[in-house]
Amino acid sequence: MRLATQQGKEAALKALATRREANKTRKRVNNSSLYAGSDMHFDCITCGGDIVVPENYVTKPDLCDECQALKSAGWLE
């Protein structure tokens, strides 16, 4: 999957704004209602996107792949 940051700063920030708007109405997954062994779902602290990790995760990422790429590039305020 190609990240928006590969298209430049302006495109990446525009994609971030689009994700934030889309994720405002996204249906959230209630982890406590899932079966044992199911993947766990968390919200990205920047855009509100769905971060999926295996049930046996050790550390949970706070940022989705797109937002992590923005942070690494220094484009995330």
Question: Tokens in use for 23?
Answer: 């994720």
The structure tokens 């766990």 sit at 40
User: Quick check: 55 and 36 in contact, CB under 8 A?
Assistant: yes
Percent of the chain with pLDDT over 70: 99
For 2-35, the pLDDT digits (tens) are 788 888 899 999 999 999 999 999 999 999 999 9
Whether the per-residue pLDDT at 68 is higher than 70: the answer is yes
Count of the separate structural domains present in the chain: 1
User: Quick check: 57 and 40 in contact, CB under 8 A?
Assistant: yes
Give the amino acid at 16. Answer: L
Domain that holds residue 66: 4-73
> How far is 66 from 11, CA to CA, in rounded Å?
12
pLDDT given at position 1: 60
